[in-house]
Structure 1
């Protein structure tokens, strides 16, 4: 005979393990969130700094050429304020500070910090700890005018540390922790309530285990609150030594109710599936089909009792059942193209013997894979386009670089032409990679904007200047009509400029020689209205919205003849929406397109 031991009850053990694993998951998620945020902030700080180094270096070189460096100090101070830098300076070749965000250090000798070395292309750097214990990345870019070195630009950016990340996360920690803990406790209460019948059964089995071995097992009935409890009571009734009344009508009634409810829930679950499920008899007639089967096959009639082979053959474009020639004893998967009023759809069919025995019937599943097929086609088209976009510039760069390296008799003008070609192809590659990175950020929701006060007219003039050589080369007319009252607006200058350049580039690409590209901008009701209009090939009405989908290319042969990735317009629309605006299209095939961007000025 077994004796009683002090142990936790079954529900308490289950709840304790549940809480242990849940709290472990919360701890791991919190740690992962801190690490992810720390990595993201460091990557963002490095990317922003590298981007700003290039722009500031170019501005300082221009200032050195045009004014002899009169504005260099102002450029450095503004860069520190706007770029949230630790400090910024211009160092002469002899090591003196020509400009510094701290004016008291002008003319002083630079003391280079000691730390780990960094490098990004032509930009060097060092990572060190300052006197306040902050980790700082100091980036150094060479400055030159007329191919003569004039010094270097040094830009220091504080890298977010663990303490700062944890401090920022701590502000939101109460809501982020209390909510999940509340859900965990609620789940523990519900789990304990659900396992209560199992605890009663465990106590009954423990009581039987403690009874003498020479006695007939005796067990008590428990409250019939679940199917498991009712099953226990039936076992108790079947024991000769039990005291439960065999004619317990209440227990039998409860059993019938719960069994009926369980069957109803199973059928309701199958009916609610988006995937079609059907069961056929040995002759192929449908015994059961959920609502999704009729919807996927486009049938409004009652299909139970209908031969599924005839139904599939009538819907297939070949008028043949795609599974007709397969063995009925094997599991088979095939695809079926179905013509509907909204276009062709692709279905995936799967058939398997019911219970492993084909003589009892088959179970079928139908799934709409139209979107998956379209996605695969778009992906394949993008891979082809991306391969061309990468291979062509690289081939040109390699050819011109080899010619420069091996040609001893090339004159200066040809060398300049070759270098310009290499630079243009490298710029094309960089633009393509930037589009890919922007689309990737868009998909994960991390693409954002940084609003600054900008002169709208100057922004649009600079965007027009970037595309003007291309339009001139293609023999087209370029009209720029900008209102005198555009004023200033809080916009992300780089992204809005990129959007306009993208729209102008598309207009130039798809407008034939002798055509016209027009850029207009006006200020209307606290909105900036930018229009890019062309007299090119235009876009068909059924493709007007699709052009804003990633990787989409028009089926028009005039469009297919031009190289493109299908990324520019989706990215342009997203930039407009990030500014709480919109980008729309008005077009007629053969007459041209008009893209209109409406951006709120506040």
Structure 2
């Protein structure tokens, strides 16, 4: 304890200084408030009383002012009797008499018709103004009353009033300074008695907060400080006993909940979330530190209903809910001591796979149904109808052959897609000349494009003529993209194969001037069997798998693909082939 005394003393001095500063601030504020109130009230009362006195004097002068009396003599006599300046002013503003000016000086005085107190007195009967005097030279308080002969005005200099105010302020300041010295002396004595036990309690509580549960307050003081010391002592003993048990339980609980693949949310009896594992935070997008109110949980009716039943003491059966675009299996169980536990299992990947499988089966069945129906129908006709001419039989046979070829293309594309997705096919990259590979890939579609009147152009950029990719994959990518572009471009249109270099690699682009794709369809054009216009695509002979194959081929090279389009103005599809770092 000896080594703690020097440490506690400066801190006690800090508290004493704060108490002294607080007392000084309180006295200073009180002094300023008293001075301001006293100054305001004194000024108000004196000015009000002075205005009333001057008003009475002016009215007395008005009564004494008769036509039989000389105005200047009357003003001199009234000014001597009242001790204030008296001025008699005609209705047109001429000064008829003034107690501070003789007959010779009256003629030199300015016309008073525009003086504020004169204007107000002529209009309302009584006028009051405080302003500098143009004739006397100092600030004066004027009170004027309307009289039969014009205006009777009485005025007094404000310097005497201001002197009273100044003396009052000085006396208040002196009294305030004495009060501050006395208050600081008393505060110094009080702060010493308060700061020492408070400083010791502060050091003990800081030690407890830092984890030193062996510290106990040694002081024994009367009143609230002594009660506080006893409470701190009891608190330290309870903390030491409880923290050991809580530490073990906390570590076990955290390890269990964080090891789960399910999301776990624990709610206490006061409807506060007291524990959330990392999986639940991710699934429910919770960011608040625990504990927090259950109102911060997602406002979903099934979740709130299950939580309400569990808090009421009833377990709920597992049900599926949708939260933030995910499908979750929700189970709620009550806790023995009150509260509830929510368990959340993410079913999104499983449901996504089920949807993919269901869509794939439906799409394959739909794509094969039409050609199979055609083949079966025409084959049955060929077998049963002996009246067909040779030309009709050849025509039916060609139809059967065309639909069989279509089914073969679908099956081949499915096999290629399955081989790429399963990882059984891996690209064998080498240097590929873009122009040469594109020419080979578009050879088969040249006749179709010429027949439709669509111009084909291959124009790689000078700095991007060679790709580091699998040659077969590049040809298949170009072939599928160009075939798709020609299929959806009307006569007179153009399809161009170009390249451009970027920091990531080389972009291979196929741009057409066709019908374009609406914005809502763009994100899904690379899905299997997805068609913007199903009927038109099937009539044109597409399988619905070309763009899906292209995407998987490009991604197998570590690249990516995206589409840009505007309805009526064509479509551009770009595929990135990363470059191989040298060395």
TM-score by length of structure 2 reads 0.45
Radius of gyration: which is bigger?
2
TM-score by length of structure 1 reads 0.44
